[in-house]
Amino acid sequence: MTDKKTITIALAGNPNSGKTTIFNNITGSRQKIGNWPGVTVEKKEGLISKFGYDLKIVDLPGTYSLTPYSIEEIVARNFVLEESPDVVIDIIDSSNLERSLYLATQLREIDGKVLFVLNMADVARSHGTKIDAEKLSSLLDVPVIFTVGNKNEGMDDLLKEAIKLAESSPVKKEKRNVKYSKDIESAIVRIGDLIEDKVKDNIHYNFRWTAIKLLEDDKIVKERFALKAGNAGSDIIDEVQSLRKNLLNLYDEDTEIIMTDDRYGFISGIIKEVQTISPKRRVDISRNIDLVLTNKFIGFPIFIFFIWAMFQLTFTVGAYPMDLIDNGVNLLSSGFERFLPESIFKDLLVNGIIAGVGSVIIFLPNILILFFCIALFEDTGYMARAAFLMDKIMHLIGLHGKSFIPMLMGFGCNVPAIMAARTLESEKDRILTILITPFMSCSAKLPVYIVLAGTFFAAKAGNVIFSLYLLGIILSIISGRLFRLTLLKGADAPFVMELPPYRVPMLKSLTIHMWDRSKMFLKKMGKIILVGSIIVWFLSSFPRNINYSEDYTSILNNINESFKEKFISADENEKILLNEQKLAAIAGIENKMNSEKIEKSFMGKIGKGLSPVFKPLGIDWRGSVSLLTGVFAKEIVVSTLGVLYSTEKSNDKAALANALRSSGMTPLSALSMMVFVLLYLPCLATITTIKKETGSFKWTFFSITYSTVIAWMMSFCLYQGGKLLGFA
């Protein structure tokens, strides 16, 4: 038990103001990452004990303003309003004082306890910008302190000051706020008075602030106000409307625009008093770097190189630790296989839980490396440049330049790819990207193509596989445009984006980024995958008592017996030969048995039940069972095909190819099946990620249905069309 007092401190600030660095410095690894309720904006909290207090630090999303135009802004504002943190710390990039003060003045208007932090003043000073902190403090009546986030300077001062402020008596009413133009000011006073007179008891926020927001026609405040203030409230809203109308006539401009102008006017007054810019022409390293990295001719080649390097690191270098994990999982499962007594529990543990969770944990190296690269891109400032370069192309699909990275990563694995969509600021962009990324053919589908295309298209296999990738890309473009016109209607988010100066990334922040996201992946995915793999295991291994068409056990015994006899009279060479024959015979029988076991399991029954659906696509029941097992992980399609089709050694690719050919599968039906594999519902791990990242069952379900329906339609057209044209 602790009797220490808890103080809640919110960190606000512009994007790129160094807010996250300060948050990381203060909280270190004691961070909790989650989502803000109901939205997919990342929420970061840290709890620390310092100077005799428990400090709960909440990192608000980086915003330029507190208007309700983006989720980030709404989230940040709601937190300040509803949760009433004891102190709000506004982190100001000293090189960008003017713009930073825009958010700062809005925070002041809300009327909480605000503390200004001038961050990175050393950089500003080296560029010739000096800020008079004392004057700023007295002009706005706010404590102001200096920090240098990336050198970890001033953190203790910051916390001490925040505690002092939290413990101080409630804020004085008299303080300098933005003064708006005369007519607007009188409208604010009028509405403010009305609120105080009529609905005082229902409104908890500062009256002046509420009046300002109503005059700005702030939808959220208006709705809440109407809800809480009842009849008297709607009179006030009517009054606001008529005042707005008058002001519109007067200024020939929307009131909120005039108010923005006024705020910047107020700010520029302050700037004149507190900031001195010496005429020394700054040598801007950042601009010079940009001359190269966004250069007309070499900008793209460099970009492609970076992306290539990221891809290679993630999937090629990542393959080594993946192998290690895979071996570890195999070792574990074969260990249990050997030492546990035969039981249903053992089967569940080995073939359900270990196999299922193992199939997810194997992505961990990929995810760690990918997020390290992404954090590197973000922290250095290159991500904004990547968006700058790619936006023209991505805009064609109705997407933001930043969507490029998740979509590209989709060719590797959809799980990290969909997680990479987090870098998109607008929720609509994010959902759109998540919906179309699964059409990027992931690397797990490649083995399926290799088997099928290799068997039926021989020399042309390469072209066929390439066409499949292309088909995926084209469908993602079409779907993107379609969604933009229908479900996720509305212009894409404004591209207006800051290109922050390049910065040297801090290892600490990179590793925190990387580790936090990976941890989240493991924790949340682990649970769902666990349940999912138990279900899949259940479906594929029940019912237990299968009536086999033949008595395999006695057949196996017979084989053993007959070979035993032969062995007695054989010499050394013959024995080797006999041993091979014996193993082949056993494998053949076991495979037959497994094949029948799958066929008669629930999974097999469902697959068979579904086969009428797949018939028009030229896929037989074995194909449909394989596709069903492929939901677990796409590469499993190949191994199931192996078990179901071949009657000999299932691991032998040539045998599988022969079996496929003799089973009546044609090049056309093989193509149809490949198209289906390309497009149909993503694997369990991806579905889980979609649920996690969209935070909505609706979108998850939509994604599953949409991709499967598209897959069916495409395969249907291909197969039936092909048949009509005489290919078979």
**Among residues 39, 84, 38, 79, which one has the least CA distance to residue 59?**
79
Helix (H, G, I), strand (E, B) or coil at 300: helix
Residue 147 within binding range of other proteins, rule CB under 8 A: no
Cβ contact 293:387 at 8 Å? no
Which residue is associated with the tokens 């591209």?
A: 495
Name the minimum Å distance from CB 77 to other proteins: 14
Of residues 252 and 342, the one with the C-beta less far from other proteins: 252
Strand ranges for 680-725 from DSSP E: none
Which H or E element spans position 119?
Answer: strand 114-119
161 close to 118: Cβ distance less than 8 angstroms = no
Site for other proteins in 263-282 (CB under 8 A): 264
458 part of the interface to other proteins, by CB under 8 A:
no
Among 179, 228, 287, 564, binds other proteins (CB under 8 A): 287
Distance CA 42, CA 54 (A): 23
Does position 64 interact with other proteins (CB under 8 A)? The reply is yes
Which region, judged by CB under 8 A, interacts with other proteins, from 178-186, 292-300, 455-463, 579-587? 292-300
Q: To the nearest whole angstrom, how small is the minimum distance from the Cβ of residue 244 to other proteins? A: 15
Q: 């994990």: which residue's tokens?
A: 325
Region from 110-118, 173-181, 258-266, 640-648 binding other proteins, contact rule CB under 8 A: 258-266
Integer Cα distance of 307 and 401 in angstroms: 14
Residue 495 touching other proteins (CB under 8 A) = yes
The contacts of residue 42 (CB under 8 Å, 6+ apart) are 33, 34, 35, 36, 61, 422
Q: How far is the CB of 386 from other proteins (least distance, A)?
A: 11
Residue 95 or 703: which CB sits closer to other proteins?
95
Whether residue 637 contacts residue 628, with contact meaning beta carbons closer than 8 Å, is answered with: no
- Decide: is 260 part of the binding site for other proteins (CB under 8 A): yes
CA distance 673 to 667: 10
Pick from 173, 281, 296, 523: which binds other proteins (CB under 8 A)? 296
- Kindly tell me which of 428 and 622 has the beta carbon lying closer to other proteins: 428
Q: Within 500-539, which residues bind other proteins (CB under 8 A)?
A: 500-501
Binding residue (CB under 8 A) for other proteins from 9, 212, 373, 493: 493
CB 178 within 8 A of CB 109: yes
**Which one-letter amino acid corresponds to residue 527?**
K
Stretch that binds other proteins, among 187-195, 288-296, 505-513, 605-613 (CB under 8 A): 288-296
Among 364, 497, 559, 606, binds other proteins (CB under 8 A): 497
Q: Determine how β-strand 144-147 pairs with β-strand 42-50.
A: unpaired
Distance CA 308, CA 300 (A): 12
Closer CB to other proteins, residue 102 or residue 552? 102
CB of 517 to other proteins, least distance (A): 26
Query: Which of 136-144, 296-304, 619-627, 630-638 is the region at the interface with other proteins (rule: CB under 8 A)?
Result: 296-304
Task: Please say whether the beta carbons of 251 and 96 come within 8 A.
Answer: no
Q: Is position 69 an interface residue for other proteins (rule: CB under 8 A)? A: yes
- Three-class DSSP labels, 142-176: CCEEEEEHHHCECHHHHHHHHHHHHHCCCCCCCCC
What does DSSP say about strands 129-131 and 275-277: parallel, antiparallel, or unpaired?
antiparallel
Nearest approach, Cβ of residue 129 and other proteins (Å)? 8
Is residue 67 a contact residue for other proteins (CB under 8 A)? Answer: yes
Give me the least distance between CB of 508 and other proteins, in Å please: 26
Residues that bind other proteins (CB under 8 A): 64-65, 67, 69-70, 95-96, 98-99, 102, 256-257, 260-261, 264, 287, 294-297, 299-300, 384, 387-389, 391-393, 395, 491, 493-501
